[in-house]
Amino acid sequence: MPETPAAPAAPAVHPIPDRHGQNLYSVDTELQSLLALYLPEDLLRHLRPHFERLGGLAGGRLDELAGTADRNPPTLKQRTRTGLDEQQVIKHPAYVEMERLALSEFGLAAISHRDETLGWKGRMPPLVKYALTYLFVQAEFGLCCPVSMTDSLTRTLKKFGAPALVQKYLPRLTSLDFDELAQGAMFMTEQAAGSDIAATATLARREADGSWRLTGDKWFCSNPDADFAMVLARAEDGMAGMKGVSLFLLPRRLDDGRLNHYRIIRLKDKLGTRSMASGEIRLEGALAFLVGEEGRGFVQMADMVNNSRLSNGVRAAGLMRRAVAEAEYIAAERQAFGRTLDQMPLMQRQLDKLRVPAEQARTMVCQTALALARSDAGEADAYALLRILTPLIKFRACRDARKVTGDAMEVRGGCGYIEEWSDPRLVRDAHLGSIWEGTSNIVALDVIRAVKREGSLPVLRAHCEKLIAEAEPAPAFAQALRDALARAATLAETAAREGGDVLARQAASALYHCTSASAMAWEAARTGSAARLRWSQLALLHRVLPRDPLAPDALPADWTAA
């Protein structure tokens, strides 16, 4: 009888690499180095176990919850079974569990407003919140919107709200008790008033007791059943245009427990952020309270939006990190033609093209968070620096995330197109960053506005010059950084001086790339990371300097000379 053929030997490594279960903090040595650079040593030592725990959750249980919530989006229940108009957004238990982790256990929305969080006595610098968010968003993006809006609403209420209003509502906004804490939102967009705030049509009528009643429609309201929302409306007897718009705090429930007088008309069917509800709101004489000065709504809302824009940049950076880390893992584990993918020159080049924008964004998160801390402390020029760094990261990092997540999907191959994996969700979610809190055009113009109104450009340039000087890179590379920075500044000055709106995007990108390249070189000198210095050089070479598309792709030799 013929012999039965032997079964083929099982491969030592499964041919489909799966990174699920990794601790996203423990494996991220660059993040650990940056946090050691930017955070005080004693604070980092205290927080390390919390970073470890969140990193483990993000790579495992939290990622599972996010996938479940994405596949089971919220629904709107209009009435109780007895016919009462008690609207309720029904959230999947997986989303509710993520809310508990984000808002209660890690206090992501309250951490900047409390004197004790995560066992640390004293106010922590903004980077702690953003580092935790950076880890969290690698698993779940949608919930980070309500987290950011709650944090931003609290900041704006504290800054502009009447003392009695702050005293009444702040405790719930800063609570870590999941059954007591409140969530926030902002209802700004109308059908005819998106970025054009002057077109706001919602009306506010003043009552005898000093409260206000709001009437009108809001078109895009994320977290529509939030406990509190900041709302823009126009006083009935107010001025036309921007000067007639005021900011109001809208509670979901009245003091007697009844729902306030507004309705969620429907929930949006969105491309991404499917886990989190977004809807349309109809205000029907809803009770609200004026925040700050009447007619100054745009200025006050801008403070909230700017804080949210920084959070947008953090989330984009986190999405890129997740996408790049997945691609790196696949390339290291997947074998083809007798080698792992990361041994192949084209894959090495492809991974570099993913890493550079992801690391630029990570650096800009740290730099902007540091500027925010300095600004809040009242340091000279810190606000002007923050004022330009914030729209820079919102503009460029959010746009980069769309490409990085899409290109990283390709590394996984066909599996990257399958909904069982994280790639499709990352791609869908990444596209929203360039839309909410200001589209790319609006945010690029805000960079120019910071140049014109805040005097931010000389401050940014001095900041970058200081980073380059302290980095002490190779003289030729240092000069290339300075020359590029000078040209970028000239372009921004031209746009500001000549009203050259058409140059706004070009100028914003140039300033972002020069700033991030300078800061990465500084970080490399402080942490000893050769990879970080190389990414700095690649950012300048590939994203700023003119290049011959037919020339070989290599760093100039004198950029690496001692």
Q: Do 135 and 232 reside in the same domain of the chain?
A: no
CATH number at residue 271: 2.40.110.20
pLDDT above 90 (res 410): yes
- Strand partners for 232: 247
User: What angle in degrees, to the nearest 10, is found between the helix axes of 504-527 and 530-543?
Assistant: 160
pLDDT of residue 3: 56
Average pLDDT over residues 472-495: 97
**Residues forming a β-bridge with 117:** 120
**Looking at the domain assignment, is residue 269 inside a domain?**
yes
Residue 235 φ/ψ, nearest 5 degrees: -60, 140
Task: Examine the domain organization and report whether 125 and 200 are in the same domain.
Answer: no
Percent of the chain with pLDDT over 70: 97
* Residue 500: per-residue pLDDT: 67
pLDDT of 334 reads 94
In a domain, 349, yes or no: no
Question: Please, which pLDDT band fits residue 437 given cuts at 50, 70 and 90?
Answer: confident
Return the pLDDT at 5.
54
In a domain, 415, yes or no: no
Predicted local confidence at residue 498, as pLDDT: 82
| 236, 228 Cβ separation under 8 angstroms | no
Would you state the pLDDT for residue 555? 92
* HSE-CB of 244 using CA atoms within 13 angstroms: 16
Q: Is residue 383 part of a domain?
A: no
Domain presence at residue 148: yes
Mean pLDDT of 127-135: 98
245 shares its domain with 137: no
Is the domain of 191 the same as that of 128?
no
Residues 266 and 197 in one domain: yes
Tell me the CB-side half-sphere exposure of residue 82, using CA atoms within 13 A.
2
pLDDT recorded at residue 12: 56
The domain tally of the chain equals: 3
What is the pLDDT, as a whole number, of residue 314?
97
Whether 108 is covered by a domain: the verdict is: yes
345 in a structural domain: no
User: How many angstroms separate the CA atoms of 157 and 363, rounded?
Assistant: 30
Residue-level length of the chain: 562
- Asked whether residue 199 falls in the same domain as residue 265, the answer is yes
Q: Does some domain include residue 360?
A: no
Please indicate, yes or no, whether residues 34 and 129 belong to a single structural domain of this protein.
yes
- Statement to judge: residues 481 and 550 lie in one domain: yes
Domain boundary among 232, 265, 295: 295
Residues 59 and 144 in one domain: yes
Task: Tell me the average pLDDT across 492-512.
Answer: 91
Q: What's residue 7's pLDDT?
A: 53
Query: pLDDT tens digit string along 203-244?
Result: 999 999 889 999 999 999 999 999 999 999 999 987 888 888
Domain assignment of residue 265, given as a range? 184-295
Same domain, 106 and 194: no
Same domain? For 45 and 104 the reply is: yes
pTM of the entire predicted model: 0.95
Determine which of 75-79, 181-185, 190-194, 458-462 has the lowest per-residue pLDDT on average: 190-194
pLDDT surpasses 70 at 305:
yes
Tell me the per-residue pLDDT of 535-547, one tens digit each, with 9 for 90 and over: 999 999 999 998 8
| Mean pLDDT, range 516-545, rounded to an integer | 97
Q: Residues 475, 558: one domain?
A: yes
